[in-house]
Structure 1
Amino acid sequence: MPERSFLDHFSALEDPRQSWKVVYPLDEILLIVLCGTLAGAEDFAEIQRWALRKIDFLRRLRPFTRGIPSHDTLNDVMNALPARLFCECFTAWVAGLAEAEPDIVAIDGKTSRRAHARDAAPFHLVSAWASRQRLVLGQEAVDTKSNEINAIPLLLERLELTGALVTIDAIGCQRSIAKAIRAKGADYLLALKDNWPTLADEVRLFFDREPAAAFDTHVTVDGDHGRIETRRHLVSHDVAWLSTGRRFPGEPRFPDLASLVMVESEVERDGRTVLARRYYLSSAILPARTFAA
């Protein structure tokens, strides 16, 4: 972690404490929390324990003349910072770590239970995960799972996505979301299910009726504990029949649609075979091997 980059990106945050009460500098607290979180710590107590073990490493970056603060201090200071501004600083910092080559950014929703309120309803987070950097690029909280569709555009707006391939499950298979991804200079890979029943049926029929030679194909085989999974990735760039004015009423037109993808999974275990197929729409013109990565 370059120290200058870290300080530059978080310099907009002002210390919320009265100056005469400050024992542990704000930049040291931020460094502890960010590094501890990236190391897998899930709460402030775990972050503090991690920092105590890694004090020698931390002192390569900052002095830490007063040592490591308590978990209560970490909690109090972080909760006093303006959440939106911190999120903007964090997003800018992560964007600065991004590599020049294209990355895969997976947007997904997750439901979590509240740690300190047993009777409270679970909360839902929509997160963007960069697979190459193995970092959460950003998150958007929603009160119910059904509101994930509203959180996705807000999350996309905050992220630097130029050159990335953004993947979203079926809830994000919306023309407006595809348009927002393209506006950010990225390509989309959207799961197609029965939320667009007519389109899904046409894509299924397309893969069923065309000969195997019509598709770019890549096959992978994995196995463990008596389980063998064969995955066939089929890609077609023949999308003219979906892009012309021949469309039937109500059929969505996805911007810059360039590829249709089918992933066929065949799982063999205990003498039984289970076959499943998944379909995707993408604006990226990529070979099957890349989609399989």
Structure 2
Amino acid sequence: MSLITIFRDIPDPRRGNAQRHELLDILTIALVASVCGAESCVDFAEFAEDREQLLREFLSLENGLPSHDTFSRVFRLLDPQAFGRAFEAFLTDLGADGPGVLAIDGKTLRRSFDRAAGRSPLHVVTAFGADARLSIGQRAVAPGENEITAARALLATLSLGGALVSGDAIHAQAETAQLVLDRGGDYLFALKANRPAMLAAVAAYFADPPEPLASFETTDADHGRIEVRRHRVAHQVDWLFGDRAEPGAPTMPGLATLGCVEAVRGDGAPSVRYYLSSALLTPERLARAVRSHWAIENALHWVLDVGFDEDGARNRADNGPENLAILRRLTLNLLRTARPKLPVSRKRKRAGWSDDFARSIIGQMR
């Protein structure tokens, strides 16, 4: 499905005279403006004025150009779930090379708070295809929720067949693990101090394993420092079940692999991280999966903050912050999948400078 087709099917939340401008036109202008470097509703309106001739090549604009108030009102009222269905346009690309690692992580939009209304900053959970480097879903943490429940609500909407869902220790919960298994995937969760008894038991096991464990070592020399990582896995996990590991706590369903990653930078002391997985991982696959998970930080959160100034976004009212967060992720998906193969920052600059380059990007979202 193309983005234009999906935009056409989104229910219009406006009524009566407020529908002067077509919803399809408003959303398309906002997306094209975001591709070209716009970051706010005021930017969208000014972009439309400056590039009206380009926009009229593929939009009717029968009642002229929307104002910044119109953009703001639409994004405040729009149903985020309906708007979020636009991520479906990229699922085919995500599956082109196999499901791979699906990273789950949360991010706070730091300036979306509203002190006058007593509203905290928006916190969103994103599902990120680490191999394809595409966002495939987003869910805001609603009042009274936390990142754990929001992640479960997001995972419940996704088909996870064959995917390895990775997450930080906050998601190492029996209910979340069972949901991933029920949706057809496997999980890989970090094990930290929020499960102290299990962490102590696993750490003691890897400190003195009953038998030699398969291992895999990698060496990185990025950013002027050398880091050596040793990855080990254990598939004998029966001893961890029951009250012996963590009295009174539910066990992790389908647990098949315990993982240990020891990292040493230069002459410093080693750091050790532990993992729980339902997949039968080899040390090599554990190494790839652990590194792939961090793509959500480097290839999504960092790009949104630096390239799209997401932390500086000040839209605060109603559904506005969540819908504009969706728009930014859609823009990033579009730029990543669109030809030619250039860095996202260069594509945005060239689309902002050149109508011909902008047309080439727009043509790939139909």
- Structure 2 residues without counterparts, runs of 5 or longer: 289-366
Q: Secondary structure at the match of 1:224?
A: helix
Contact 1:95 1:160 in 2 (8 A): no
TM-aligned CA deviation for residue 148 of structure 1: 2.0
Match of residue 109 from structure 1 = 106
Q: Please identify which structure carries the higher strand content.
A: 1
Number of residue pairs matched by the alignment: 283
Contact 1:217 1:235 in 2 (8 A): no
State the distance in 1 between where 2:243 and 2:257 align: 18
Q: Please identify which structure carries the higher helix content.
A: 2
Q: Secondary structure at the match of 1:260?
A: strand
Structure 1 residue 27 and structure 2 residue 27: aligned? Answer: no
State the distance in 2 between where 1:27 and 1:278 align: 48
Matches within 5 A, 1:135-214: 135=135, 137-143=137-143, 147-210=146-209, 213-214=212-213
State the distance in 2 between where 1:211 and 1:51 align: 67
TM-aligned CA deviation for residue 180 of structure 1: 0.6
Greater relative CO (CA pairs within 8 A, separation 6+):
2
- Equivalent position amino acid for 2:150 in 1: A
TM-aligned CA deviation for residue 176 of structure 1: 0.7
Paired residue for 2:237, among 202, 219, 239? Answer: 239
Match of residue 265 from structure 1 = 263
Structure 1 residue 90 and structure 2 residue 111: aligned? Answer: no
Q: Which moved more, 1:74-83 or 1:277-286?
A: 74-83
- Structure 1 residues without counterparts, runs of 5 or longer: none
TM-score between the two structures when normalised by the length of structure 1: 0.78
The Cα offsets for residues 76-129 of structure 1, whole Å up to 9 and x where unpaired, read as 223232333333x23444445432411322222223334473565333222222
Match of residue 220 from structure 1 = 219
Q: Which moved more, 1:133-142 or 1:101-110?
A: 133-142
Q: Secondary structure at the match of 2:187?
A: strand
TM-aligned CA deviation for residue 289 of structure 1: 2.6
Contact 1:140 1:155 in 2 (8 A): no
- The alpha-carbon distance between structure 1 residues 176 and 45, as it changes in their structure 2 partners (threshold 3 A), is same
- The alpha-carbon distance between structure 1 residues 273 and 125, as it changes in their structure 2 partners (threshold 3 A), is same
TM-score between the two structures when normalised by the length of structure 2: 0.65
Match of residue 273 from structure 2 = 278
- The alpha-carbon distance between structure 1 residues 171 and 58, as it changes in their structure 2 partners (threshold 3 A), is farther
Contact 1:15 1:26 in 2 (8 A): yes
Q: Secondary structure at the match of 1:273?
A: coil
Match of residue 95 from structure 2 = 99
TM-aligned CA deviation for residue 17 of structure 1: 4.4
TM-aligned CA deviation for residue 200 of structure 1: 1.1
Matches within 5 A, 1:23-62: 24-34=21-31, 42-47=39-44, 62=58
- Equivalent pairs: percent with the same residue? 35
TM-aligned CA deviation for residue 282 of structure 1: 0.6
State the distance in 2 between where 1:283 and 1:28 align: 46
